[in-house]
Amino acid sequence: MLLRTKLFGKTYEFGTIKELLAKANEEKSGDRQAGIAAESAAERMAAKHVLAHVTLETLRQNPAIPHERDEVTRVIDEGVNETIYAEIKSMQLGELREWLLADTTTSAMIRRISNGLTAEMIAGVAKLMSNLDLMIAAKKIRVTAHCNTTIGLPGTLSSRNQPNHPTDSPAGIKASIYEGLSFGSGDCVIGINPSDDSLSSVSRLFEMTHQVITTWKIPTQNSVLAHITTQMEALKRGVPIDLLFQSLAGSEKANQGFGISVGLLDEAYQMARKYCNSNGPNYFYFETGQGTALSAGAHEGADQLTMEARCYGLARRYHPFIVNTVVGFIGPEYLYDSVQITRAGLEDHFMGKLTGIPMGCDACYTNHAVATQNDIENLAVLLTTTGCCYFMGVPMGDDIMLSYQSTSYHDTASLRQLLGLRPIPEFEAWMEDLGLMKDGVLTEKAGDASFFLQK
Amino acid sequence: MDNKEIDIQAIVKEIMAELTQNGAIDPPQENPSPIPEQQQAGIDLPDPSLPENRKKLGVANPYDPEGLRNLCSTTSARLGVGRAGPRPRTETLLLFQADHAITQDAIYGEVDQEVLDKFALFTVHSQVESRVQYLLRPDLGRLLNEESQAIIAERCEKNPQVQIVVGDGLSAAAINNNFPLIYPVIMEGLKAANLSLGTPFFIKNARVGIINDINEIIKADVVVILIGERPGLGISDAMSAYMGWQPAHGKTDADRDVVCMITMNGGTNTLEGGAFVVEMVKKTLKYQASGIALREKAGETG
């Protein structure tokens, strides 16, 4: 296929759609590490120029990995609504960008065409957008889901209470849960990353969080981010689980590295519907992040943005309650600095929403990335204005188990206050009943973990 | 009112003078405990990063102060910090930023030449040319540059049982603070075991995997690399010792063993860490295996 343009008098030609997509990507250290990034700023622009003229049909016909070799490609392709696809397939990516941004295009209209899009189309249009484009378009797309409560409602901003502990001490984790709740964090989920993936330890954490939720009648859901097979085993034994968790990657091979497959996820999904303790119908929590496939040596020559979009396509199959990118966790060899982390956060949120999933973000960084807490505070504000469903709540942003920095319990309250947003309604009512919040603002009693020593 | 206060101060002064003369107490300091007037003379603060100063409660009027203290004692998470509106309090914020600052100084810092000289370590380089490139290209940190290959070939003992090398990794502070303490412990332990030792050296901009490239030249039975870990918030000088049986191209982390978090600031101390390294080296030599293979072999024979 001929993919060629002139720019400032120089001719640029691209061999394949995959190469074109990679070179049209905004600068990412991961793409450079993989040797697939544009070689100059002008070449990047030439690639974008050509990409703007590629039709949706061409992108569907050229997935990053061929059907016969990759089940993620098959899942996404089989999920396409053919009627809707037939309506839009002749559209060029540049036209899709303008259609998404047009004032006449509504949330409902975008949700409809979502069902006719594949990951390569979604990644492609993201590459043609500026940061503010990504925000304007994503803001329009309203995606809600329900487990025990409803995520993604207009006017809300939710928070995962992330009370991790280096040795999974239930007492230490409970102390952090209390602190978070007292700041209004936890309306999205009380979700623990375990350091010990054993069935007994994971079950103990499910039991403990379930007990806190029951004792205080908290309108939320629990989750322990263990391997899916551990959670399935716990489910079988009657452990109270509201949400099932799994990390996803964008290729079959990378998912093998995680020890998962579509077959396994299908099985887990059936089990969730049968045995989860929550109301549903949305039972899954997924995490993703640009660079995951490359770090597993399973990117198949595709750029990290395209691989990320494929995660969302896979996630959609399981009607998740929440999905978030862990955007700065992977390190500077994939996202070097705050510019790249910020860009990736905005891209991922937009792509998730365009895929039709309720998208949050772990706005975070490691100490060897060129970023500071100020940078992720900035990113959190940007994402909140564009309708991001939730962020992490970590004590002072310092995760003592995973050794990285994310958003804090304070940030949850701050972002709501800054932009006039509220927790999920039932959770806000619960806080008001306890006297921790009044008219959307924390009261004098709030911010005190010992409040929860009353019961 | 003023007169009375002056009187009391005069009396106190008199008594103090008497006691001092008798030798009952030490003479009063020029600058006694800080009170607001002393601010004119300067500010002299205690170190907020000390463990005892980290656990100060910041909550204005806690429901249960004792209970809150107990909650905070169950975890090293930053709890009980209170708030200023929705934001952290000033001292909490500045301590967090200080903890991050020290990680940056560690990552972009340099290993002191004096430390290397003290133990007669010469320096070689990976293929990385700058600190920025080090962060961007882990693959280049796993390979020696050509000049370094030649230096090692020329200066190093070949085919020793144990080769020790040092790498800066992601924390120069880890090497500056821990290497001078752990190195004598390791050397003593290995010499006591009558093992033949290679010529130690330092590699700048090194990743753990560089031991494969090194051992293509040296052909040691065991290679140990002491290397700076990615600084965590508040602990910026953790060092690890990675080691493997006959490292060679293609070997991965699965083929290696590690003694991690060696630091005098809340990890495995250098004395213990050094002893663990010696034990692990002996075990590796005994079973002629490392990593998963070692666990399998050692498990088989008990």
Q: What is the pLDDT of residue B16?
A: 54
Number of folded domains that form chain A: 1
pLDDT interval class at B2 (50, 70, 90): very low
Q: Residue A398: which domain range?
A: 145-454
Q: Is residue A306 part of a domain?
A: yes
B6 against A347, higher pLDDT: A347
Q: Do A449 and B97 touch (CB under 8 A)?
A: no
Q: Do A453 and B64 touch (CB under 8 A)?
A: yes
Find the CB nearest B137 among A333, A370, A449.
A333
- A130 inside 8 A of chain B by CB: no
Has the ipTM of the complex gone over 0.85?
Answer: yes
pLDDT digits (tens, 9 = 90+) for A185-203: 999 999 999 989 999 999 9
Span B150-175, average pLDDT: 97
- Residue A268: CATH number of its domain: 3.20.20.70
Percent of chain B with pLDDT over 90: 77
Write out the two tokens for B89.
């309090």
pLDDT interval class at B4 (50, 70, 90): very low
Q: Is residue A268 part of a domain?
A: yes
What average pLDDT does chain B have?
89
Helix or strand run (H / E) with residue B284: helix B270-287
Number of folded domains that form chain B: 1
Residues of A with Cβ-Cβ distance to B76 under 8 angstroms: 166, 400
pLDDT interval class at B302 (50, 70, 90): very low
- A425 inside 8 A of chain B by CB: no
Write out the two tokens for A61.
């016909």
Q: Residue B291: which domain range?
A: 113-301
- Residue B183: CATH number of its domain: 3.40.50.11240
pTM for this entry: 0.90
Residue B27 has pLDDT above 80, yes or no: no
Q: Is residue A443 part of a domain?
A: yes
Span A155-181, average pLDDT: 97
Q: Do B63 and A448 touch (CB under 8 A)?
A: yes
Q: Is residue A227 part of a domain?
A: yes
Q: Is residue A396 part of a domain?
A: yes
- Residues of chain B numbered 93-132 and touching chain A (CB < 8 Å): 96-97, 99-100, 103-104, 107
Q: What is the pLDDT of residue B3?
A: 45
B82 backbone φψ class: left, alpha, beta (φ>0; ψ -120 to 50): left
Q: What is the pLDDT of residue B14?
A: 62
pLDDT digits (tens, 9 = 90+) for A387-444: 999 999 999 999 998 989 999 999 999 999 999 999 999 999 999 999 999 999 999 9
Span A80-104, average pLDDT: 98
pLDDT interval class at B209 (50, 70, 90): very high
Residue A125 has pLDDT above 70, yes or no: yes
pLDDT digits (tens, 9 = 90+) for A34-47: 999 999 999 999 99
pLDDT digits (tens, 9 = 90+) for B47-101: 999 988 998 999 999 999 999 999 999 999 999 999 999 999 999 999 999 999 9
Q: What is the pLDDT of residue A270?
A: 98
Residue A252 has pLDDT above 90, yes or no: yes
Q: What is the pLDDT of residue B20?
A: 59
Q: Do A450 and B96 touch (CB under 8 A)?
A: no
Percent of chain B with pLDDT over 70: 86
> For chain B, how many helices (H) and strands (E)?
11, 6
Find the CB nearest B64 among A174, A405, A450.
A450
Comparing alpha-carbon positions, the chain A residue that sits nearest to B89 is A410
- B191 inside 8 A of chain A by CB: no
Q: Is residue B36 part of a domain?
A: no
Can you tell me the distance from the alpha carbon of A268 to that of A284, in angstroms, rounded to the nearest whole number? Answer: 9
Q: Is residue A35 part of a domain?
A: no
Can you tell me the distance from the alpha carbon of A131 to that of A133, in angstroms, rounded to the nearest whole number? Answer: 5
Q: Is residue A8 part of a domain?
A: no
Write out the two tokens for B229.
């870990």
pLDDT interval class at B15 (50, 70, 90): low
Q: What is the pLDDT of residue B301?
A: 55
- A195 inside 8 A of chain B by CB: no
Residue B289 has pLDDT above 90, yes or no: yes
Residue A217 has pLDDT above 90, yes or no: yes
Q: Is residue A287 part of a domain?
A: yes
Write out the two tokens for A190.
């009380």
Comparing alpha-carbon positions, the chain A residue that sits nearest to B75 is A172
Span B104-110, average pLDDT: 92
Q: What is the pLDDT of residue B206?
A: 97
